[in-house]
Structure 1
């Protein structure tokens, strides 16, 4: 997990604005009220650094922490994160006993998972905290309606026997980022039906939850007791159709900044990077940015990725390589910027002063903002502002 603060300027660094993250969590709490907020920190907090972001979210009033895989939840517990944590993506053979010992809430999406948890309870001698997930139409994890009574009834029996505590009932939207999509209301109806059966069977959950980031921002009827905010917490819009981050009072948390490795003048007709898919049209200056697809810069950004250097916006020239790419700065002169090696190149950030955003990169590469930030690799240091006291050498 990336969880450290760089001591010296790096060739490339991901600057994480923890104050922006705290502000985003407070804003999402306002939007969701009276529902609580679960801060989702899966995938190393969408590339932002799991532990610092979890701590900052809790400081800002998040009531729950959400993770995908068990290792994430256990790492948070080992680092001293207290309070409720939910983990939801499991496979047979996972260490359910460790989750039970750590008082992590474990999602149940099928009868096999419930049986594995009950075996862990027998081994540990401790009751488990579980949440029942209904597949209301997404078609991924979750219990299908025809199996829901079987799983609910078995969970209720286990609760009466003192083996588990059913702390939640939940589901997940397929198309909440597409306002007006017909599946949204169908899924809400299916969730209400699943809740009605569970409650009639004797389930008294602490939390009922269905809303992800887009539903938190656009579907108040889906908030129930708790909303699960992932990408919105990091200041990105779940979808352009829902508006820009600023439209929701959110600010992007990550800025990806490199330091130029070289700036040199080349003649007209000079090939640039692998395959010479770009050739200079005139005598010009080429800047080398030491960031590539090994760092998480999409190779699909070749020829289209936006970069800001010296306050001016440029486009990647030629192919993105494993460790570097090139920007054509133009011939220079007049009011043109005159960058030097060591000067900053902003790949994306909050968009201040016209600099690119993660959404700009997503648009350029035909993907989503989630992928742009999450793919930033472990060899890119995360630099926290203000300094995260949990990080080594802080």
Structure 2
């Protein structure tokens, strides 16, 4: 049997007797609590940040797409310069590496007026190939009509924000107005009400069929505002966009429009830059928590070494060298770290499960774009956090363990 591991286990399993006045037990408990709290906070922080980034990213992509193909002459407004988005272009883009789905869209800015209120809006037209999964997930009332590019349905999806502001419900008529050379009006019926909690979208967008928007824009047959492309792997977003850009390089449509592709991160740089900043917060939390856990373990180990000075002297007198005795106390520290990590995982996983299934911690969607704290726990990240905590904590104890080499057998045996 490994005698060093045997002694470490005996020290770890020694129970405090009534009347004992040793100070190592409270120090050990504090060290284990530090490890448990530190690891729990790290797991929760990473789970929340990863979940938050993915929730917001998926919402931004759901409102648009991973990649947008528009006219190169597009201005910074919703009144875009059209390009031809015919079946041949859609088919060619759909066959490119990394492309999952291609869909057309068009937009038209306008205004809703009621008897006592008005609201600026952007009317977005979508075709029959449009992926409505995101819309179904956020539909509050009503239904999503079967929008096409051949027939004007005169039906529209309205955000809950606009519906509450104007006091409209499913089935109500909306009078919308669009200004170009003259004022054009359209009466639309509210087919459904959605809510994404993304204020820049909910405050503006109404969704209708592509044909209605094309007619309002007076575009030629086949012209659209742009093409939205979903990719198979988001990690290869830039690579896929590179393929599309190279294939569209210097390509123009029959009306002279020049194509240009950009990723969703280029369209909304401020949002994705904000999400990237969250990674810095996570690293700060990880460093602080590892530091707190490590220093509590250092203080606990030093106290235990001082309290076990007599035992260290006896072991040295029996022929044990400093390295062997250090291994005894480092093995003992590993037992403490392991127990603290066990409780830390129990605490963190319990909190994650409660938040994931019951969502007790809520958020203001007007600020954070989501209504509850999201949780996404990746298995590999969880394993890495546990392994990293164990390794870093043990490495931080190697230096303090050299205190053993300064203890002399003759004086330590008589140490009180």
What's the TM-score bracket when you normalise by the shorter of the two chains? under 0.3
Instruction: Please say which structure displays the higher CA radius of gyration.
Output: 2
More helix, by proportion:
2
TM-score (norm 1): 0.28
Structure with greater strand percent: 1
